[in-house]
Chain A
Amino acid sequence: MTGAPAHGVAGAPASDGARRLARPLARRLRLPRHPLVRHLVFLVLGAALFYVVTVNVSSYNDYQIGQIAVYAIVLGGLSILTGLNGQFSLGQGAFMIVGAYTLALLQLHAHVGLVGELVLATVIAAAAGVVVGVPAARLSAPYLAGVTLMLALGLPQLSAQYGSVFGGEQGLTTTPPVAPGTISSEQWLSWIQILCALVVLVLLANLVRSRFGRAFKAVRDDEVAAAVSGIHVARTKVLAFAVSAGCAGLGGALLVLSTGVVNIGEFPLALSIALLAAMVLGGAGSLVGVWWGAVALVYMPTWSTSLSQHLSLGTSAAAYLSDAFFGVVLIVAMLVAPSGIQGGLRWIGLRVWKAIADPSLQGPARDRHAGDGSADSDVRAVDVDPDLALRVGAVPPASAQGDVVSPAGDRPGPSSATTTHGHLDLETKERSSP
């Protein structure tokens, strides 16, 4: 342990141990190997946990837990879009509006039942995602940001323009589902929202593991290489956009079920940006991290109210502080920790696991990681690893600078613009391959 010979002797077991360490967490914990079975186990555990929590807290807390579940759905879609597919959207609020108004209009004019309303809200929002995604698939990051920003600002105005359909400024009202028996309506609604969130996240987790998920990642890492390997790049990007829009639509519909009213004031640009920030906070591409982001979205207004009281800023400042917080999150995350909370936790977990699993590994393991510099020395590991950049045949620095300048070219651009933050997932895989 202390001397050099000990290391020498430990050489062979060390590499064996390294391989063992690098196995996916799921297998280390001896979870079922089939993804669907494994994810269903998580679903059942999550449902049980939520059941225990919701029956033991007040109805206002039930309402908040329901909101967390709703935001987890929206963030899950966004996380897939950005973390897995390297695309980017500031327009999730707009897709939430599509879902919310779909639900409200269906409740007003058609009687299709709650399930039908939610399914249709999802489908119509996903269709809107296809409409936006088709042109968006050709755009590089800054243009995509601009287009989706305009969508988030412009779409709400439609409800003012066509007031007779969308109710104008006041918006439309919604009726929450009737709770059976003695269950309070908040609790019943929160169960519906939680169930939706768990089902959606299991579906998304399966999507990640599927052919489509691999195609998403391939397109994110290098569009040219993906196209050469037979992946239809544009179709893949549009699919990712539609999935994220569908999630946002379902989230919007579920959200207005608990607020009882749909109007554009509930979906300002700040919400779309806060969603992006919450997704980055949890960790792009992480479906566990979405819960961290969702908790921040729901509780931040409360925290900022107490903070503004503490600073004696007056009540109106609270909303602004909450917005500013999410802006700070975006900036700090990009500068310091692009992998977010879940990435940090995974990093800590990996370290702790190493220490527990085989203390003799400490020395060699550190040496091994000292070699690849940025890869493991801090959370910044998630940025493009130099090795990886070489492997995917990235461009020389000069043209990497240049590709930002030219907008949507006819040819897909080099990967450097899209290979971004938040793929610890990918990183661990890279490391695991011997």
Chain B
Amino acid sequence: MGLFVNVLLSGVAQGMVFAAVALGLVLVSRATGIVNFAQGAMGMFTTFIAFSLLTAGLGYWPAFVSALAIGFVLGAVVERTLMRPLRGKPALNPVIVTIGLLVVLEGVAGSIWGGASQGFPAAFSQRGLVVGTTRVAFSQFDVFIVGAVAVLVVAIVALFRWTDLGLRMRAAAFSPEVSQLLGVRVGRLFTLGWALACAAGSLAGLLVAPLSSFSPYYMDLNLVYGFTAAVLGGLLSPAGALVGGLVTGLAIAFVGAYVGSDLQPIAALVLLLLVLMLRPQGLFGTAEVRRV
């Protein structure tokens, strides 16, 4: 029973990280209709920048905020320089570009900071909390993870639902041509979508870095789990990303604890294929009629 509860708790914490990655994927996918496979690598890169700032003597929170801001700018720059020229091209081309970006960022990070795993500090204690008399596998830092991602999800949902800007972003994603005719600056909103997505990716990178072996490749698996989570949630809804993240996190945690941690990626693949076969629109999406 104790093991079960601990696995459940660590699954929730992991799931929130996957939800943050998935949220970044959803933001880009909503805005521009492509899947950004560099999402994880961008978060990795900004986290390494934060690591350099920390090593240079900056405090944790200034480094944390700088990484989010740099992520925001990086996302905007990538959209402007790499994605904009590919608008209107077949969907495969921008996807391949994001894959190229993934290896470029990993390669550059590797040649700057080296490939060995390093320790990334956590904002709060990583010792499990004591509930009654027993210590559970849920630390103050895990509480912070859950809180930070929850704030992010609420902020994104609020942005889309209650602000003028969010309404325009939805309009631009729904029908770029019509929105443009109505005076919406579609291009800028796409850039904003990318910038927000990359900031979300940076948050995920910062949150997960203390939990994993921090090397240029540490976001690879988080990316694929985040992708699974995003597809589970329908790839379009921020709330779906949150639920998808939690489901994926729990599935991964239980497979890791009861079957074997080396089978986690394969388990996620099976989960992804099941969703794609049985309910391709995701748990929350609505099936879309396509004209041919």
Contact A405 B266 (CB under 8 A): no
Contact B37 A330 (CB under 8 A): no
Question: Any chain B CB within 8 A of the CB of A269?
Answer: yes
Give the nearest-CB partner of B87 in chain A.
A401
Question: Any chain A CB within 8 A of the CB of B231?
Answer: yes
Question: Which of B90, B106, B265 is within 8 Å of A384, CB to CB?
Answer: B90
Distance of A282 Cα from B100 Cα, bound (Å):
16
Distance of A61 Cα from B259 Cα, bound (Å):
46
Least Cβ–Cβ distance between A237 and chain B, in angstroms: 15
Excluding A145-B99, A150-B224, 10 further A-B contacts by CB distance (< 8 Å) are: A135-B273, A140-B91, A145-B35, A149-B99, A150-B227, A317-B110, A321-B111, A327-B105, A408-B276, A414-B290
Contact B107 A320 (CB under 8 A): yes
Give the nearest-CB partner of B36 in chain A.
A142
Contact A147 B268 (CB under 8 A): no
**Chain A binding surface, main DSSP class:** helix
Chain A residues with CB under 8 A of B265 = 150, 153-154, 157
Chain A residues with CB under 8 A of B103 = 270, 273-274, 277, 323-324, 326-327, 330
- Give 9 pairs: A residue, B residue, CB < 8 Å, sorted on A: A154-B268, A274-B103, A327-B103, A330-B97, A331-B97, A335-B85, A405-B29, A407-B281, A416-B91
Q: Which of A43-51, A70-78, A108-116, A418-426 contacts B (4 or more CB under 8 A)?
A: A418-426
Chain B residues with CB under 8 A of A401 = 33, 176
Total number of A residues with any Cβ neighbor in B under 8 Å: 76
Contact B90 A419 (CB under 8 A): yes
Contact A142 B34 (CB under 8 A): yes
Point out residues on B near A: beta carbons under 8 Å: 29, 33-35, 37, 82, 85-86, 88-97, 99-111, 114-115, 175-177, 216-217, 220-221, 224, 227-228, 231, 235-236, 260, 262-266, 268-269, 272-273, 276-277, 280-282, 285, 287-288, 290-292
Question: Which of A139, A276, A395 is within 8 Å of B96, CB to CB?
Answer: A276
Using A138-B276, A384-B90 as known contacts, say yes or no to A331 and B262 having CB atoms under 8 A apart: no
Query: Ordered nearest first, which 6 A-B pairs have the shortest CB separation?
Result: A324-B107, A330-B100, A154-B265, A320-B110, A327-B103, A327-B104
Question: Which of B85, B236, B260, B291 is within 8 Å of A405, CB to CB?
Answer: B236
Contact B292 A395 (CB under 8 A): yes
Question: Which of A161, A329, A399 is within 8 Å of B260, CB to CB?
Answer: A161
Chain A residues with CB under 8 A of B99 = 90, 145, 149, 273, 276, 327, 330
**Which A360-387 residues have a C-beta within 8 angstroms of B?**
383-384
Question: Any chain B CB within 8 A of the CB of A8?
Answer: no
Using A320-B107, A329-B100, A407-B231 as known contacts, say yes or no to A420 and B290 having CB atoms under 8 A apart: no
Contact B291 A147 (CB under 8 A): no
Question: Any chain B CB within 8 A of the CB of A180?
Answer: no
Distance of A215 Cα from B99 Cα, bound (Å):
28
Chain B residues with CB under 8 A of A161 = 260, 262-263
Contact A88 B92 (CB under 8 A): yes
Distance of A327 Cα from B45 Cα, bound (Å):
15
Give the nearest-CB partner of A332 in chain B.
B100
Distance of A27 Cα from B204 Cα, bound (Å):
58
Distance of A125 Cα from B46 Cα, bound (Å):
38
Using A149-B37, A157-B265, A407-B281 as known contacts, say yes or no to A331 and B88 having CB atoms under 8 A apart: no
Question: Any chain B CB within 8 A of the CB of A308?
Answer: yes
Question: Any chain B CB within 8 A of the CB of A403?
Answer: yes
